[in-house]
A = this chain, B = another copy of it.
Amino acid sequence: MLTLWIPASHPRRESLLIREKLVDGFKRGLVVPEGLIAHGRGECFDYLIGESTQPFAIRAIEAAVAALLLAKHPVISVNGNTAALVPRDIVELAREVNAKIEVNLFHRTREREEAIAKWLKEHGAVEVLGVGEDASATIPELFSERRRVSPRGILVADVVLVPLEDGDRTEALRKMGKTVIAIDLNPLSRTARAATITIVDNVVRSLPLMVVKAREMKNLDKSRLEEILRNYNNNSTLQEALKYMLSRLKELSESKLTLFWEEK
């Protein structure tokens, strides 16, 4: 397969480089074909938010970091796409907020669990839960391999960060009483709507920003962190994200769209 040479001036350069990173993760056995399709879906929504981190995402990131810092047992749940795109940032965030890292796959195979754990360790992770025998606990309301979690990780977590998770699992975690932080570019997805805090942003921008915020915010008083969390409203976040996409589409729909000369 070819790796494309992408000119520095290409209007979609950034997006194409991320895409190549994911295809690389696919070749390494971290990502499944379904993960590539899901990524494309995200690309479209990223385009609609202008491929940059908007204020509604920054507020969600602050609330998320507050929740992680206040948590007794925070866990970062990692799937193939997240591992392929931001392995180092996952490890750094886990270190800053003292969270465990757990592999949690929709299409679970032993090979892929191990490939992801190995990849995360190459990027500095000391311990990776949810691999093989460690994923011996189950969460209610989910079927087959998707219900398996680590008894030292997601099972006992009070706060779970799920970048790029599916709706069923997000709902199941909420029903278990956990605080769920999702990173999802689609504000209309069931994941986005079921999570406690939804960061509507690309994981390649928001995870590094979470690391920076964690370093800043870990010096804050507990009462200040609680205040940030209390003042956060996820429904407003989702509505603002949609409104922003709306305003971008509106602006574009009023301009001339065709690129070639036409009579009319």
A residues bordering B, Cβ < 8 Å?
1-2, 11, 19, 22-23, 26, 32-34, 36-45, 47, 107, 171, 174, 186-188, 190, 192-194, 196, 233-235, 238-239, 242-243, 245-246, 249-250, 252-254, 256-260, 262, 264
B contact residues around A107 at 8 Å (CB): 1-2
Closest beta carbon of chain B to A48's beta carbon, Å: 8
Check A260 against B174 for contact (C-beta < 8 Å). Answer: yes
Q: How many copies does the complex hold?
A: 2
> B194, B250, B258, B264: which contacts A246 (Cβ < 8 A)?
B250
Q: Is the interface of A mostly helix, strand, loop or mixed?
A: helix
Check B245 against A249 for contact (C-beta < 8 Å). Answer: yes
B contact residues around A34 at 8 Å (CB): 19, 23
> B33, B186, B245: which contacts A26 (Cβ < 8 A)?
B33
26 A-B pairs within 8 Å (CB atoms) are namely A1-B107, A2-B107, A11-B190, A19-B34, A19-B37, A22-B37, A23-B33, A37-B37, A37-B39, A37-B40, A40-B41, A41-B43, A47-B188, A190-B259, A192-B257, A193-B259, A194-B258, A196-B260, A234-B258, A235-B257, A238-B257, A238-B258, A243-B253, A246-B246, A246-B250, A246-B253
Given contacts A40-B43, A43-B37, A44-B45, contact A259 B194 (CB under 8 A): yes
Check A239 against B253 for contact (C-beta < 8 Å). Answer: yes
B contact residues around A26 at 8 Å (CB): 33
Chain B residue at minimum C-beta to C-beta distance from A196: B260
B contact residues around A250 at 8 Å (CB): 246
